[in-house]
Chain A
Amino acid sequence: MAYSKEVMDHFMNPRNVGKIDGASGVGEVGNPVCGDIMHIEIDVKDDIIQDIKFQTFGCAAAIATSSMVTEMVKGKTLEEAEKVTNKSVAEALGGLPPVKMHCSNLAADALHEAIKNFRAGGESPISIARDCCHDQPDSRCVKIEK
């Protein structure tokens, strides 16, 4: 498994780890059964992401994409943040090994859930449990009943 320098940097020195007291939006995707779960909290003022923090359970790719997405959108407007995709996060990291593209690359989804949660008033954040295939159906995947 060859990771890019950027991935290793964000993995070894992750940016913006933690939680935000009184966060205005919270998003969580993934599933511990599959081996990755990403939790993102944002603090929004005047439609701008003033602060963003993450907590991630998962492999190096999961941690690095989470760290990268927080850097990409900190100080940006919600509209700009909504345009960030899992793919653009992976590109910003100099790419991910192919098997990681759909297994551990969910950070933008977690961010979008946090924004959705903020727009809904920040009440009762939802955790989006997925099956382990994410968007890649595979006969070996573990289906999660919610």
Chain B
Amino acid sequence: MKSVYMDHSATTPVDPEVLQTMMPYYTEIYGNSSSVHAQGQMAAQAVEQAREQVAALINASPSEIVFTAGGTEADNQAIITYMTHKRQKKGRHIITSAIEHHAVLHTCEFLEKKGFELTVLPVNSYGLVEPDTLKAAIRPDTALVTIMHANNEIGTIQDIKTLAHISHEAGAAFHTDAVQSVGKIPLDVKELGIDMLSASAHKLYGPKGVGCLYVKKGTAVGSYLLGGAHERNLRAGTVNVPGVVGFGKAAELAEQRMPQTTEHLNHLAKVLTEGIINNIPDSRLTGHPVHRLPGSVSVVFDYVEGESILLMLDHYGIMASSGSACTSGSLDPSHVLLAIGLPHETAHGSLRLTLGKDNTIEDVNYVLEKLPPIIEKLRMMSPLGK
């Protein structure tokens, strides 16, 4: 059966070149990068090379990169250790947005329960945090503003430069969860004015369970996991050398390939989006029409439910995702779709197709052949709408 993977915002396959670079670090250069002997030093060298590769992708200094076990850990570390750092004397107020990944939202809510104060900013119907909304929410005791770069569900890209600038003017630090944007769109931490940034290797054709936190020199961040002195005292635990090496290679490849990949994805996404919106009645794009991740197609269909769409697509070998309650594992549809103002019943009918570098126009045409009859079949079964 044909198999079409269009869920690259969930995760990506490891690029064969990345895997090849990682392999020797399992069996040949297996040393602990903290060890003084030859094995350890070879491993340490590989880790430092990876640090340079990742730093180069976001225009950071290698010494500003802390390797973690993924984006979730980086988000937790940034928010918790910054807010609780003894050098952080600004205050106890955190600002975030309503469309953050749970790795950020739940971390902020955890701190709120511990006595910190939290403001969750609303977004407009495109999923953008409006600069004036941030300005109005900032207080003298606001220590940290954490707003994601690109949204995982609707693909909207925030104006991070403006939001970081507003935060700095008020003396607050700025963290961004850039898990969805690193390696996909140009990102320069200096140009954007970012103090902390979270990234994850498995979204850019690297391995799962590896990520990093960028910490601008001088920022009050501490270790989140307690233990050894690894990663210059900022992340205890034996370094996942093969994983980090894979992340480095993936970062290097992402940078090299970005221009062609972006052009390819923009083309496919345009054909797919127009094919859906023009051929399926009562369907709409969610997120920003222009300021969105390359290859991110998120739509809603009235009168049908997302999990049903996914299972029927899966029947034809098409793999996608949805923000319906049934797929979120809770009783409510996705908080992101509700935050952009969709009514519950519409949010239940969401479909996210996220394209990757290996998708082809044939894949897109295949989806455009299978999807309309699926929506029609489900609508025939639905008591709503007609």
Which A residues are closer than 8 A to B by beta carbons?
1, 3, 8, 11-12, 14, 17, 28, 32-39, 55-63, 99, 103-104, 132-133, 138, 140-142
CA distance A104 to B324 in the complex (A): 13
For window 312-337 of chain B, which residues contact chain A by CB distance below 8 Å? 312, 315, 324-327, 329-333
Which B residues are closer than 8 A to A by beta carbons?
303-305, 307-308, 311-312, 315, 324-327, 329-333, 343-345, 348, 380-384
CA distance A109 to B187 in the complex (A): 54
The interface residues of chain B lying within 8 Å CB-to-CB of A35 are 305, 324-326, 333, 344-345, 348
| 14 extra interface residue pairs, beta carbon distance < 8 Å, beyond A34-B344, A35-B305 | A1-B327, A8-B311, A11-B308, A33-B343, A33-B345, A35-B325, A35-B326, A35-B333, A35-B345, A38-B383, A58-B305, A59-B308, A62-B305, A138-B331
Using CB atoms, name the residue of chain A closest to B379: A57
Contact assessment for B332 and A59 in the assembled complex, using a CB-CB cutoff below 8 Å: no
Contact assessment for A59 and B345 in the assembled complex, using a CB-CB cutoff below 8 Å: no
The interface residues of chain B lying within 8 Å CB-to-CB of A138 are 331
Question: Nearest chain A CB to B273's CB is how many angstroms away?
Answer: 24
- Counting residue pairs across A and B whose Cβ atoms lie within 8 Å, the total is 81
- Given A14-B381, A34-B331, CB of A60 within 8 Å of CB of B345: no
- Given A39-B383, A56-B382, A57-B303, CB of A11 within 8 Å of CB of B330: no
Contact assessment for A37 and B329 in the assembled complex, using a CB-CB cutoff below 8 Å: no
The interface residues of chain B lying within 8 Å CB-to-CB of A133 are 331
Contact of A63 among B331, B333, B343, B381 (CB under 8 A): B381
Contact assessment for A56 and B307 in the assembled complex, using a CB-CB cutoff below 8 Å: no
Contact assessment for A57 and B383 in the assembled complex, using a CB-CB cutoff below 8 Å: yes
CA distance A33 to B349 in the complex (A): 11
22 inter-chain pairs at a CB distance below 8 angstroms, sorted by A residue, are A1-B326, A8-B311, A12-B312, A17-B380, A32-B348, A32-B384, A33-B344, A34-B331, A34-B344, A35-B344, A35-B345, A57-B303, A57-B305, A57-B381, A57-B383, A59-B324, A103-B326, A103-B331, A104-B326, A140-B330, A142-B331, A142-B344
